[in-house]
Amino acid sequence: MSSSSPTAAVQSSSRPRVMFICKSNSCRSQMAHGYLENIAGDSVIVESAGCIEESTVNMKAATVMQEVDIDISDYSSNALTEYDPCDGYAAVISLCGCGPEISPDWKKTYFVDWNLDDPPALDPGDLSVYRRVRGEVLDRVEGLIQMLEVNIDDTNK
């Protein structure tokens, strides 16, 4: 984790920008993107990307997010190279343990690696791992919102 304070970055902008990074931007980062966008609405700029290119959103992840009324099925899976780490991110979050693979340029602001389990790798076929990880992602996103001191109300959505 970087020693920079996310609150300092937020104070320079009325809408903090958050980047979620995962190996392929197909599952965990998409869940986090969907949750933060749904909870924070227009009060946060949310982006997500993968360390590798040419991926798609995992349909099982989309299914379990739909269970909580969040539709990520139309989200695009983007490569991290499509973004500029100098774009003023208040927080950069790795979800999969890929922190060592991420350029140090992304770690100049608040950076943390949540290192969550990979549902496709552990899936017994019943969506249980996807649902468990979905719950873990929600807990972490709610903590991120508090840490960033984002004001959430119904007008933000």
Which residues belong to the active site?
22, 96
Query: Own/partner pairs for 142-145, CB < 8 Å, 24+ apart?
Result: 142/39, 144/18, 144/36, 144/91, 144/93, 145/36, 145/39, 145/40, 145/44
Host H or E run for residue 22 = strand 17-22
- Measure the CA–CA gap between 85 and 155, rounded to whole angstroms: 29
